[in-house]
Every structure is written in C-alpha cells, then in structure tokens.
Copies of this chain bind each other. A is one copy, B any other.
C-alpha cells in the first residue's frame, strides 16, 4: 500500500555521509514506492540559530543540491521549503494550545539537546516548542510514516498526542496519526569514533568533499588503538572503518571475511582503509560531480524548490483549511 511519508533536514550545513546512510539513501528507494515529501526545514533550523539566520539561509540550496545529487527525484518526491508554507506556522500556533509547557520540558530528545547545546537559562522559546512545529509539518501532509532515528521517537509520540487531542476536541478525525519508520543503520559514527557525525564536531565527510579530503579522512579514521602490529588480533567493535564498511560495502560476505581476518590478526589498518576509500570514492565521485553541476545553476535549484513548494502549498493549504473549519474559524475566504 502506498504510504505518505514526511521527512526532511535542517539546512545548517552541507549534508554528509551520516545523512546519506541515515536517510538520503533510503529516500531514493522510498520515492519509487510511496508519496514522499522532503522538507528543507529552515524554520526549525532557526530555532537554535535565531541570532545567526545566515547560517540557515545560506545552506538551503546546498541541501537541495545534495538531495538532487544523491538521486532524490523532484518528479517523484515533493521537495519543499518550510518557511514558504504558511500553513505550517498556523498549525503550530493552534497546536501550541494543546500542549503544556511541562510536557515540552519532559521531551527526552529536547532535554538532551538542551543539555548538549548548553542552553540552560537562555533556551529560546522556539527551541523548546519545536516538537510542536514538527507535529505541524507531519500532520500538514497527513503523513502516516515518518523515517526517524530511535532518538527521535519522542517526536512521533508528541505528534500523535496532538493528533488525538485535536481530533477529540473537534469531534472528527481531521488529523492523521503517524508511525515511526526506523532505518536499518540509523547512525554512522564520526571518523573520530564519536557516536554522531556532525559538522560542528568536524568529524564528518560531506557529500561534496574533494577526493583527497575523503582519502585523508579515511586514513585518519579511528580503528582499534591496541592493534599496533599487523599480526596482532584486532577489535571490530567500535572500529570506525568496519562501521563504514558495514554501511557502504554491498558485499556483506566479504566484510564478514575481513572482520574475521582482522580479529585473528594479519590484516593491517592501511589495507582496510584503502578498501574503504575505494568504496567511498566510487560512491561519492558521481554525487560530487552532480552536486557541483547543480550548484553552478542556482536558478534551476530555485525552480525545483519552487515547483515542489507550490505543490506542497496546495496540500498543506487544504489541510489547514480543514483544521480551520473544524475549529469553526472558516468565516472568511
């Protein structure tokens, strides 16, 4: 059965291999099977960059170029810009009245992000309330499937709480509940072995990285610090090179063999890293070329985003009109 999928990214920087493994690759598969919308979430990007809006605005087209470069097809996927969809803001304001401040403060995802970002007393109201804005995004498209990492499950729960509260209040099922779609590999570690690849940590490989940068990153990847000589037995767990081989090497049998060899000793890090580098170069070369071509014609990127956004305006405009009617607020045209 065809599902309606909503997903997206905050345009805070060019996308990297973590995005590729965690979501982009999956989206290219999903667009053939389902109605997929991918949202460039600039409003959400502003929730913790309110004092530096250029960081968001300057990355919108980068992200669109990344999407097209990996094979997201605007004829199959609706690519749209959050800030250009006024229905999303309006829905957010309605939903804010159905969620308590203490409920938002208990959201585990937001709690850990607040700690991570060191917000404390300077927590922007928009950041505390962004799960409500996400609920607006999901419900505006009547999405029933939302691809997420397991750290994002509380967002799905919050959305469904809002959906149930709203439908109960207006006495009719205007909004659609959604389900999380958990990916196989939900998170690629940084090249330094940290759990998360992120631009701010400087431990990522972006999709547009030049070949020599990719190679340098692979060569300094964290492996097993106790694997000093080639003949020593090495550890696979926590070894970033193997995490990447798991994620990028299609030949699973071969990766299994390499793991066994590494564990019993006799397989050197450099050999492995060359293998991984070959895999990544093969993957990234055409992506890098397409990305550069798209970025050389920004007018075309804007046209693609405009077309998708126009389509999304119709869908989200219809939904918010139904919400307004259900609330008795449809006096005017």
Contact = CB atoms under 8 A, between A and B. Distances in A.
Interface string A43-73: 1001111111110111011000000000000
A84 interface: yes
A127 B104 CA distance: 13
A83 B47 contact: no
A183 interface: no
Interface residues of A, number: 58
A331 interface: yes
Nearest to A58: B328
A227 to B, nearest CB: 47
A57 B125 contact: no
A56 B331 CA distance: 12
Nearest to A328: B57
Contacts of A56: 327-329
Closest 8 CB pairs of A and B: A57-B328, A50-B97, A96-B126, A86-B86, A97-B126, A89-B89, A89-B90, A53-B327
25 contacts: A43-B94, A47-B96, A50-B98, A51-B98, A53-B169, A53-B327, A56-B329, A57-B327, A60-B331, A84-B329, A84-B332, A86-B87, A86-B89, A89-B90, A97-B124, A97-B125, A97-B126, A98-B124, A99-B125, A101-B124, A101-B125, A125-B129, A129-B129, A302-B331, A302-B332
Given A46-B97, A101-B124, A306-B333, 7 more contacts: A46-B94, A48-B97, A53-B327, A56-B328, A60-B331, A101-B125, A104-B125
